[in-house]
Amino acid sequence: MSDKKPKNRIYKPKKISGFPEWLPEVKRAEQKWFDEIRRVFESYGFCPIETPSVEELDAINAKGGDGESDADKEIYVIERLHKQEGDKESRLALHFDQTVPLARYTAQHFNDLVFPFKRYQMQRVWRGERPQAGRFREFYQCDIDVINVDNLPLHFDAEMPAIIWEILSSLPGMENENIQIRISNRKILMGYLQSIGITDNKKIIKITRAIDKLAKQGNQHVIGKDVDKFGGDNNGFILLDDKGNISTPSTRSEIDTEIIENITNFIEVTTVKYNSSDELEDALTNNRHFDTSNQMLKEGIEELAFVMDQLSHLPEGAVVADLSIVRGLDYYTGTVYETVFTDDPSYGSICSGGRYDDLASNYINKKLPGVGISIGLSRLFDRIRLKGNLPLSGISPADILITLPSEEARPTVMEAAQQLRKNGLNVETFHSPAKDKKQFAYAEKKGIRYIWFIPTEGEANHSVKDLTTGDKFSTTPQDWKAK
């Protein structure tokens, strides 16, 4: 009797949370998305670049200015496993978006770039946050940005959503999704806060986040009702009731009642979505609560109205002005975008961006305003995939599998394969002589449509069988064309 085989210790493979990977058929579908996105980007004249996965940590942190920002925690820093005492090397960090690398890139290659610099970039980015539905630690973003020297025409602010709309409505599997691009302009909120006397940066951040949250939770949520619920040290100080109205300041309030009232007025306006520039201007300009003599507020309204006008050719509801969109990243200074599934806004934005006045000012002594938008490809893709709406077209990209009846036939098989490839077909040859059953089953499983037979003795022609229909054709490698 045989002894028990010694078991070799196996390192059992595990999923790494937040780092998705796909089977071939899904990856093929993802590649088609990349192809389509690239096609549209290039059709508008954007050119490709790729930056390293890492930036120097100092360079990434340069944008904040404040030093300790929330973004710090999301960054992965890399180090050598075998680093030694006293090794001198710059600290490298995986980039968490493509905007900061773009700023650095633009500054670094300033002399060699043609402005306005229009580039697209489709790479992975990394965020050190806790994964959950639609949230990854490693994911793809597809960015387009335009950067110019000194001034950047507002026209570009309108071009971004137009491009995005074109892409989102052409990606395979997205046919039945209801998507909306929501646009605002930070100058409106900033100008408004300025006009009611709020200038403290920390207060501004809290207010913007409260407004942001309010909109995303569909007015259901309460900020600060249970202060601790909203994350230990991040004390919400704006208290909203279930209808989304600011009620009383919490015990930790840093803000007085009059201002609360003012913000309530503002929120009334922000929770409406405006379909046209006229609606928007009516609501804001003629609102007695707004001091439109404030220059920044006025500019914001005008800019947003301009952008809306430029986008009036898009279908109704595709793009709306939504003043609750304020965006977390603090480098945005004007137009801001978010994109949501209208039937499930809480899934999060699938496509965001905005305008920044001088993102590169930390890297170069020039004023380089830009505007850009980023498709959260992984989040979008995963949603469509999980809904089962992703069109899959087989594991293999091969159109044809040539059977190998015997080892002697291999040269003929190879020759036929080469000829077919020259004609633009993807061809795989079966790897070893085997029963037809095995070779057929292989083609079937890999989703290869045609099986090719070289001539048997006495036959002049090759033959092809279409597995989807069962039809068989007599032909030659030179002549055959897939129907």
- Calpha distance 203→252 (Å, rounded): 12
Measured CA to CA, the distance from residue 448 to residue 427 in angstroms comes to 9
Q: Please check whether residue 360 is in contact with residue 314, taking contact to mean a CB–CB distance below 8 angstroms.
A: no
| 352 near RNA, rule: CB under 7 A | yes
Query: Can you tell me which of 43, 445, 474, 476 binds RNA, judged by CB under 7 A?
Result: 445
> x/- site string to RNA, residues 183 to 222, per CB under 7 A?
--------------------------x--xx--x------
Residues between 89 and 118 with contacts to RNA, criterion CB under 7 A: 97
DSSP symbol at 381: H
In angstroms, what is the minimal distance from the CB of 27 to RNA? Answer: 17
Strands 117-126 and 138-147, by their bridges, are antiparallel
Q: Using DSSP bridges, classify how beta strands 47-48 and 54-56 pair: parallel, antiparallel or unpaired.
A: unpaired
Site track 302-321 with RNA (rule: CB under 7 A), x = hit: --------------------
Q: Which is nearer to RNA, 24 or 291 (CB)?
A: 24
Nearer to RNA, 53 or 287 (CB): 53
Phi, psi of 374, rounded to the nearest 5 degrees: -130, 130
Is 374 near RNA (CB under 7 A)?
yes
Q: Which of 134, 137, 149, 173 is nearest to 351 (CA)?
A: 134
Site string for RNA, 49-88 (x = CB under 7 A): ---------------------xx--x--------------
When the beta carbons of 78 and 441 are compared against RNA, the nearer one is 441
375 to 404, contacts with RNA by CB under 7 A? 376, 378-379
State the minimum distance, in angstroms, from the CB of residue 327 to RNA: 6
Span 263-302, contacts to RNA by CB under 7 A: none
Q: Which of 440, 312, 373, 338 is nearest to 118 (CA)?
A: 373
The rounded distance, in Å, linking the Cα atoms of 126 and 57 is 14
Measured CA to CA in angstroms, residue 467 lies from 417, 447, 451, 473 at distances of 18, 9, 7, 12
Beta-bridge mates of residue 299: none
By the rule CB under 7 A, 331 interacts with RNA: no
Question: Which position has the token pair 């490298």?
Answer: 92
Nearer to RNA, 254 or 291 (CB): 254
How many residues in total does the chain contain? 483
Torsion angle of the four alpha carbons 92, 95, 100, 106, in this order, in degrees rounded to the nearest 10? 70
Nearer to RNA, 303 or 330 (CB): 330
CB of 287 to RNA, least distance (A): 27
Looking at the DSSP bridge assignments, the partners of residue 274 are 321
Give the pair of three-digit tokens for residue 337: 């975008």
Q: Kindly tell me which of 55 and 281 has the beta carbon lying closer to RNA.
A: 55
Contacting residues toward RNA, per CB under 7 A: 7, 14-18, 70-71, 74, 97, 127, 129-137, 139, 141, 209, 212-213, 216, 229-232, 234, 327-329, 338, 346, 348-352, 374, 376, 378-379, 436-438, 440-441, 444-445, 451, 453, 463, 465, 467-468, 470, 472
